[in-house]
Amino acid sequence: MDTGIVLTALFVAFNCGLLGVFLMLRKMAMVGDAISHSVLPGIVIAYLISGSRASFPMLIGAAIMGVLTTVLIEFLTKKARLQNDAAIGISFTWLFAIGVILIAVFTKGGIDLDQECVLYGDLAFVPLDKVIVDGNLYLGPKALWNQIPVFVIIVLTLVFGFRGWQVTTFNPDFALSLGINVSKWHYVLMSLVSLVSVMAFEAVGAILVVGFMIIPPATAYLMSGKLIPLLFITMIIASISVIAGCYLAIYYNGSFAGGMIVVAGIIFIVVWAIKAVIDRWRRVANRTAYENRAESISA
Amino acid sequence: MTVKNPSIAVEAHNITVAYDRQPVLWEVDFEMPAGKLIGIIGPNGSGKTTLVKTLMGVLTPDSGYVEIFNEPLHEVRSKIAYVPQRESVDWDFPASVYDVVMMGRFSAKKLFQRPSKQDKLVVRQSIEKVGLTPFIRRQIGQLSGGQQQRVFLARSLAQEADIYFMDEPFVGVDAATETAILTLMLTMKDQGKTLIIVHHDLQTVSEYFDEVLLLNTRVIDYGPVETVLTDANLKAAYGGQLNVLSKVGELMKQSEFPVREKEFKNRTVKK
């Protein structure tokens, strides 16, 4: 097993999961999905303009598209009076389709931006793009060094903005009454989601990013009722999914990201089942205690 | 040049708010004095919540303006506290009673600072005042409706404001919480605070409030309870809503035959 692959996947999972917690709590899981798809045309356009696969222009392109998506969703919801989920469905599929067409049109000229790669990504190719300094010091794959700064940015934003995330997520009206600029926080989150999506798409692809964003937080949500533990449990579940998923992928010789999301889903089901059993067991215990007491009173 | 009256807590002038060109508030205009318990009443969809949100600056009106203590809203944000409707938030949110009440100490400027000793003290005192100290670490989803309402009340107390806007604080709460809230409101009034409360239960209006604003998109009437709750005004506000009309009938009956329950309630409140 290549440590470069595992480390890259770990940081992708951390970045997605930490933001995913807030997307989930804001009931915006599908907006995360939308952004992760609709950054595609941004990436392609940035690529066509800059002519390189360098990260920075792509980042700008993706960030613009990410924010544009949320604006478009809001516009369709408020002005066209569509249901929110319909608005999301229109916005991201349309933008994503434009991206697909753009790739198809321009790949005829032999551009090294491949549809398969964008949709599914491939962690297996991550170690091929190496960071080597001084001619022979191998520092790990380039994708890993793309993820680490994003991780630092996200952690800093969460630590310093913790109270802001808390209040604008739990009770935006109340935050507004305090004079807090709620939409500013909203767009910061959306920009971070775009950032994570564009950095993750070459590793895990546009389709599975949202799996990393939602499944570990949703699992953690079953396990804890407090925000900080929720964030840490999310990271633990993400780690288990990445490592076990890696073994799974090697075992059946398939996609790494696919294996990881499969494992994440299995963890979710297992945790949910255990929780259901415990809840039921508690209810039964309570009821028998109550019945015993009732009997002792009547006797 | 008008002479500003220092005893005016909240004034709204010519407020109009519309959603999709459908007016929700139409030329709402009033001045509310400081140190009073004021009710905002009206039928469902009459714009009560919209009015409160506009007064708090959560919504921007299409026309008109609001002043708090004769100053624009953003100058005096620290003087106002807000208790939103309980159903307006998701109580499964991962936060404890303490976490939510601590939000009352947040402000746009202090958002990036750590809570001070003073903040922590005020939060604990506020929780004590609403009797939730035994539940301080409890996740808010595991509380009863009445306890959740008290969490919101404690958060507004932690804001240490002069004006309190409360949106339907008595909805879905148990009798004990209702009494507790009412006692607390009377104490706050004695301390010179202004309380502006959205309320829908006509029967309790005269017990609770000093003044009422009767609202149905427009201001039907505003003033002391006795002068506002007249037959004609209530008909104007509640119009064709039949079930409400029957309630009004009950109300009239009650005023003719005072019920003992009322005395009982007053007694428990005083305790």
pLDDT over 70 at B261, yes or no: no
Q: Which residues of A touch B (CB under 8 A)?
A: 25, 27, 81, 160-161, 163-164, 166-167, 169-171, 173-181, 221, 224-227, 230
pLDDT band at A298 (very low <50, low <70, confident <90, very high): low
pLDDT over 60 at B118, yes or no: yes
Angstroms from B224 CA to nearest CA on chain A: 28
Rounded Cα distance, A148 and A154, in Å: 10
Angstroms from A58 CA to nearest CA on chain B: 31
Q: Which of A177, A181, A225 shows the shortest C-beta gap to B58?
A: A177
Mean predicted confidence (pLDDT) in B79-104: 94
Write the pLDDT tens digit of every residue in A243-272: 999 999 889 888 888 899 999 999 999 999
Q: Tokens 């321009």, residue?
A: A106
Q: Tokens 């933001």, residue?
A: A19
**Beta-bridge partner residues of A141:** A130
Flag whether the pTM goes above 0.95.
no
Suggest the residue from A173, A188, A228 to mutate for an interface test with chain B (most B CBs closer than 10 A).
A173
Structure tokens at B151: 């969490």
Structure tokens at A97: 């389709």
Structure tokens at B218: 């427009």
Report CB contact under 8 Å: A177, B82.
yes
Rounded Cα distance, B129 and A81, in Å: 44
Q: Which of B94, B100, B107 shows the shortest C-beta gap to A179?
A: B107
Q: Which residues of B touch A (CB under 8 A)?
A: 20, 53, 56-58, 74, 77, 80, 82, 84, 88-90, 93-96, 99-100, 103, 106-108, 111-112, 139, 141-142, 155, 165
Residues of B in contact with A169 (CB under 8 A): 93
Residues of A in contact with B88 (CB under 8 A): 171, 173
Residues of B in contact with A163 (CB under 8 A): 103, 106, 111-112
What's the per-residue H, E or C state across chain A? Answer: CCHHHHHHHHHHHHHHHHHHHHHHHCCCHHHHHHHHHHHHHHHHHHHHHHCCCCHHHHHHHHHHHHHHHHHHHHHHHHCCCCCHHHHHHHHHHHHHHHHHHHHHHHHHHCCCCCHHHHHHCCHHHHHHCEEEECCCEEEEEHHHHHHHHHHHHHHHHHHHCHHHHHHHHHCHHHHHHCCCCHHHHHHHHHHHHHHHHHHHHHHHHHHHHHHHHHHHHHHHHHHCCCHHHHHHHHHHHHHHHHHHHHHHHHHHCCCHHHHHHHHHHHHHHHHHHHHHHHHHHHHHHHHHHHHHHHHHHHC
Q: Which of these ranges, A76-90, A122-136, A148-162, B82-96, has the smallest mean pLDDT?
A: A122-136
Q: Which of B58, B94, B95 shows the shortest C-beta gap to A173?
A: B58
A62-82: b (≥16 Cβ within 10 Å) or e:
bbbbbbbbbebbeebbeeeeb
Residues of A in contact with B77 (CB under 8 A): 177-179
Mean predicted confidence (pLDDT) in B19-41: 89
CB A219 within 8 A of CB A211: no
Nearest residue in A to B75, CA atom: A179
pLDDT over 70 at B244, yes or no: no
CB atoms within 10 A of CB B63: 12
pLDDT at B155: 96
pLDDT over 50 at B270, yes or no: no
Write the pLDDT tens digit of every residue in A142-184: 888 888 999 999 999 999 999 999 999 999 999 999 999 999 9
Residues of B in contact with A174 (CB under 8 A): 82, 84, 103, 155
pLDDT over 60 at B271, yes or no: no
A181-187: list long-range contacts, CB under 8 Å, 24+ apart.
Answer: A181/B108, A185/A161, A186/A70, A187/A67, A187/A70
pLDDT at B157: 94
- Using N-to-C axis directions, what is the helix angle for A55-78 and A182-223, rounded to 10°? 90
Residues of B in contact with A175 (CB under 8 A): 106
Nearest residue in B to A231, CA atom: B94
pLDDT at B80: 93
| Ordered structural domains, chain A, with CATH | 3-210 (1.10.3470.10)
| Ordered structural domains, chain B, with CATH | 8-88+162-270 (3.40.50.300)
Write the pLDDT tens digit of every residue in B122-174: 999 999 999 999 999 999 999 999 999 999 999 999 999 999 999 999 988 88
